[in-house]
Chains A and B, each alone.
Chain A
Amino acid sequence: MTAVITVPASLDESNFESVVEQLAPLPADAKILVDARHCRFATPYGLTALLCLAQSRAERPDFAPPEDDSTASYWARSSFFRYAEELYTMRGATPRPRASGDSDVLLEVTPVAKSEDVHAIVGRIQDKATQILTTKLDLEPRATMGFAMTLSEACSNIIEHAGRGGWVMVQRYNWSKRRVGRDVVQIAVCDAGIGFRRSLEQSRARALSERWDDAIALETGVMQGVSRFGDPGRGQGLKGIRGYVHRFDGKLTVRSGTARIAPIIPEWDEDVPRRDDLAPFAGTQLQVIIPKRVPAP
């Protein structure tokens, strides 16, 4: 029997939890249909996490694409279907991607599996994003280099630690009607690999910790910069990401296993620093939001 996993109408980082909760009671080899027919909106996190969902299943899942034309068209332009078709059995027609001059997709869904992918991603984001980051987000040209560095570090972590390939996507949004009240850029870097807890299982931090779970592992890796490698130079990447996000008044969240932490919560948003006991999901999912710069008073 096929279990139906309903994708919510709005698929962002927060709402993806409802997808994970539906998956939780099912064995990994259960046949599932991921039903996105009524989905009308998806963020980079939502789209990349849907690809991770398929990767995490032992049995190839089915996928019902959005019925709404503009939603399906956006997913196609974002290259979501290009990779979804490799991972899911599609149940329904998907539109061909058409160029639209849509400059808000700064980086389409892009696989991250090897060092060359990171070079290509960093090159593409500099080609396409620099103008938008400087004109729409008022970031200094120097900040765009930090933006590319953040992307490269997040993607490199997949290669170094995840044990399998993942996905990245970058999108600009006009959030003038939200609390932040200005444009933002969202980065999502998601994988369905081994996650922080298993990656750090052999580390000294694990040996010294009385309690060991996904939340502790996340804090150990993200906040303390501990890596499974003992080398003192390790853990620099996440430290660099935290520094960049903090400097540009951004927000950083990382989910792994059954936990999620928000190491940097800006004043323009509300969140909790840590959530435990979430429904389990494979790998690590990282989201960065950088808002338009507000001139100093």
Chain B
Amino acid sequence: MTHIDVHSALQASTALPYHDLVTRRTGAAVRTLIEHQLAGLKDGTVAFLDFSRIGVLDRSCADEFVAKLMLPRTSDHPARDGYVVFHGVNEMHLETIESVLHAHGLALVVQFPDGAAHLVGAVSETERQLWDLVMRGPARHVEALAEAAGLPADHTRALLDSLARRRLVRHDDDTYRPLGAAA
């Protein structure tokens, strides 16, 4: 698990004392810097991106930063095995982030101030139900999760594999478990 302060990344990437994530150019600069930081992490690491010192987040910047950061991580064959959890987002940040996630069919895990993790973005109700079951931990087999959800095992496996491919749960051996300490 590692902590990345988005505000520090913003200031480092623009070399100016900004607090707001606005404009596509800024979003691209921050994404590039954070991608570089993520590339230096060990496989399987959960990176907590901390937005708590960020002011305004606009949609253009969020599209350039959040969506384009997540897109390559959710492909069938991502270049790296890593996870990203957002932390310290306020209500307005969340609304903006959700809108860009939906535009790209993406989802991610957000940890709220009370410590609870939530799934935000483009997910079905059944996916959310399964994700909630996984988050109750510890690691569980498909059969146990299927029984708890009242779904056929094959269908459950397909959905869980999809959640794992989208980096929303971990899939190790034959079990599924939450992302790091955020859970």
Contact = CB atoms under 8 A, between A and B. Distances in A.
A122 B20 CA distance: 8
Of B55, B58, B99, most buried by chain A (CB within 10 Å of CB) is B58
B23 A119 contact: yes
B32 to A, nearest CB: 14
Interface string A101-126: 00000000000000110110011001
A149 B23 contact: no
A25 interface: no
A115 B91 contact: no
Contacts of A149: 22, 56-59, 92, 96
A238 to B, nearest CB: 9
Given A153-B60, A233-B100, A239-B99, A118 B22 contact: yes
Interface stretch (A140-148, A202-210, A275-283): A140-148
B56 A234 contact: no
B55 A233 contact: no
B92 A146 contact: yes
Contact of B60 (A122, A123, A148, A156): A156
Contacts of A126: 20, 55-56
Interface in B68-105: 68, 91-92, 96, 99-100, 103-104
Contacts of B67: 233
Given A119-B16, A236-B103, A240-B96, A153 B58 contact: yes
Interface residues of B, number: 28
A119 B58 contact: no
A152 interface: yes
A148 B96 CA distance: 13
B63 A233 contact: yes
Given A119-B20, A232-B103, A233-B104, A145 B55 contact: yes
Interface string B1-31: 0000000000000101011101111100000
Contacts of A234: 63
Given A119-B22, A152-B20, A160-B24, 7 more contacts: A118-B23, A119-B16, A119-B26, A123-B19, A126-B20, A159-B25, A233-B104
**What are the 3 closest A-B residue pairs judged by CB atoms, nearest first?**
A233-B63, A236-B59, A152-B22
